Structure 1
């Protein structure tokens, strides 16, 4: 029987019996956990505390079982990774009630109206106390009420030398920006920094000091907290261990000003460990970033653009052509909904690999959506001539309004996919594609998707409207000796 799965507070009582390992129940009944040596007990405690997603303060249960257990736990704080979690909803004295000086985790996400002010008072009193600065290693304050934000921000204007994890999020209303003296401008041990809706235009000093930073989330950045692409890359270039980057803005107002944009550097900065990057903003911002940076190990890139009439992002093509994992992608998926379109490049479903490129943009007009994806496919993506699977789908729950889309726009979307052998279409998309393909004629039938071999249709019926819409195209391909088969799309 696995202790990992079955250990719990009741089973870890000195008088409780261990699970029998023999069929001889009489022997098992005489063996209690009290006979186990100290080192074995500590291993069991480790399973209970650290290997089952237990709450931070779960070890408190164990110290109330008996004196021996309490002693073993308090003499093994590092081995067990003991921490004290404080939420601010109890007096500060709970941190000193016979406990040793353990690392502190200060966390609060539910600021109930009934005790909101009390929680803020208690947390601020810990943050300003010089006595506890060296113990705070994790600070997680989510949805900080704007009314109390200033007190929290002021309390954090000094160094927290042991801090490894910081998450701050604001809730409702405008809040003041963090200054360059935030955390004393230095966080040498910080490994994860996550700011949500927090303006921090002077972040360069702090981020540049966090040489061991692995995860950086700057999400929902207000316009007044705008950070230029140049400053952003300058900050990131110091982070040799950064693996995960989230960067998103609240509105399309946050964009570079063309007259002040600096020329690109002779050589881009390399982020040697970056594997995951997610961005939300305007295309010009990302273009200015990509001309200044490279990420050779990147294998997941997610982009969400605010809607624009023109998407000219040639640096995107260069940026995602370098990482080896992104060069291996063989499948494209274009997914339309009422107000957005998503383009995904990935490994085929039957192939191993974790690389993915994901791009989404939003718009209320379906013809603009189609024009947008055609622009991106033609000018910004890596060569699509290596993709042999293409899925084009629409969301049935909130389908686009295709009545405003011209047939030529559908054909423009297909132009870059010269190596696609298998085309997968949902029913409504297939009907519109069929009407567009009918206009090609026999001579041009092989110019679109020249390598196409099979069309897979959702809800395929031999005599249905989809079959009728594409019959002329299939016949033209047959006569040109480039036959195309039609099959049911079986997921």
Structure 2
């Protein structure tokens, strides 16, 4: 096992020794200082092109276009971490699948590209194969990049034991992710989840689902984008009505992490239809919990539903929890109108004030 941090300035002297085989090597961790002027890259002859006993591999900020070839010999890998893959170290989804096909023991696969330039050449994209590569031990998959790359990869693999999934997409105007939906729908562990969170910030929007027995999310979908209207529309596209697990979630929290002392990032003129599109797939949600920054906007979107459509969005909704609201007279009128419309429809909704300590009181 070798776990030695080597400055890039010393790599030139070390690199020649790393061109020969290390047949007993089991652990390799290479972190490159991305702030240094000299870019360290690995040649195709790295480790003699063979790592038969390697079990754990970490490469951070390290260009290595020939990595898939080395991985073909690494059929004992348990974990593979490729972080911040530079543009000079790109490889195709097809080459990556070929390398993964020999990894029957791989449990953790974490690969994150540095920029949106990882988008595959449209000319190289093809229809999904009739037979997919099965990764029988893969339990955790982490990806950062463009959705086209992930789609091309997922179209060629199966992961029957997958129970942790974290996806970060760079911003795009149109997300088409049927292969991601297929992967999620086939994962048994996600079907036991009952809580969902939507986190918003000035740089990303994040969607996460949790089971009853775990505090860490089983599934996280994140989109890097600064404009909040794009955040909502993008997440609505990625989730979509075909993501079946959304119809089993019974609790939904939408949280704005900005401190109350800072100006709200939510625009008053934001299209309410964007909120409705995001909420539309959550047909089983009973409890909707909203932070004080977003609560008014979400409820306003619900209130603007026509009376005949008032139960079409969140049809199972029974309770709305709004954080840190004041007394009843401070409740915005649009919440009262929404509650009244649901009452008349035969699907009543109660509204609660939800405090910092988790205690709450009914206000409508």
Q: TM-score, normalised by structure 2?
A: 0.91
Of residues 295-304 and 453-462 in structure 1, the stretch that sits farther from structure 2 once superposed is: 453-462
Distance in 1 of aligned mates of 2:311 and 2:131: 42
Deviation at 1:489, TM superposition (A): 2.9
Query: Is residue 230–residue 289 contact of structure 1 (8 Å, CA) maintained in 2?
Result: yes
What is the Cα-based RMSD across aligned positions, in Å? 1.9
Deviation at 1:295, TM superposition (A): 0.8
Distance in 2 of aligned mates of 1:374 and 1:453: 23
Mapping for residues 75-474 of structure 1, pairs under 5 Å: 138-142=1-5, 144-171=6-33, 172-348=36-212, 351=213, 356-378=218-240, 381-397=243-259, 400-463=265-328, 465-474=330-339
Deviation at 1:362, TM superposition (A): 1.4
3-state secondary structure, aligned to 1:168: strand
Distance in 1 of aligned mates of 2:172 and 2:214: 35
Distance in 2 of aligned mates of 1:263 and 1:409: 31
Gapped runs of 5+ residues in structure 2? 359-364
Of residues 148-157 and 275-284 in structure 1, the stretch that sits farther from structure 2 once superposed is: 148-157
Deviation at 1:468, TM superposition (A): 3.0
Gapped runs of 5+ residues in structure 1? 1-137
Distance in 2 of aligned mates of 1:212 and 1:464: 65
Change beyond 3 A, Cα 1:464–1:402:
farther
Distance in 1 of aligned mates of 2:118 and 2:216: 32
Distance in 2 of aligned mates of 1:150 and 1:262: 40
Deviation digits for residues 248-268 of structure 1, max 9, x if unmatched? 111111110101224322111
Q: Return the index of the structure with the highest Cα Rg.
A: 1
Query: Is residue 149–residue 175 contact of structure 1 (8 Å, CA) maintained in 2?
Result: no
3-state secondary structure, aligned to 1:402: coil
Deviation at 1:380, TM superposition (A): 6.3
Total equivalences in the alignment: 351
Deviation at 1:353, TM superposition (A): 8.6
Change beyond 3 A, Cα 1:167–1:211:
same
Deviation at 1:463, TM superposition (A): 2.4
Distance in 2 of aligned mates of 1:354 and 1:304: 17
Query: Is residue 199–residue 225 contact of structure 1 (8 Å, CA) maintained in 2?
Result: yes
- Spell out structure 1 runs of 4+ moving beyond 6 A: none
Deviation digits for residues 280-312 of structure 1, max 9, x if unmatched? 111111111110111111111001111111111
Query: Is residue 299–residue 355 contact of structure 1 (8 Å, CA) maintained in 2?
Result: no
Of residues 275-284 and 178-187 in structure 1, the stretch that sits farther from structure 2 once superposed is: 178-187
Q: TM-score, normalised by structure 1?
A: 0.68
Change beyond 3 A, Cα 1:438–1:323:
closer
Deviation at 1:466, TM superposition (A): 4.5
Query: Is residue 151–residue 180 contact of structure 2 (8 Å, CA) maintained in 1?
Result: yes
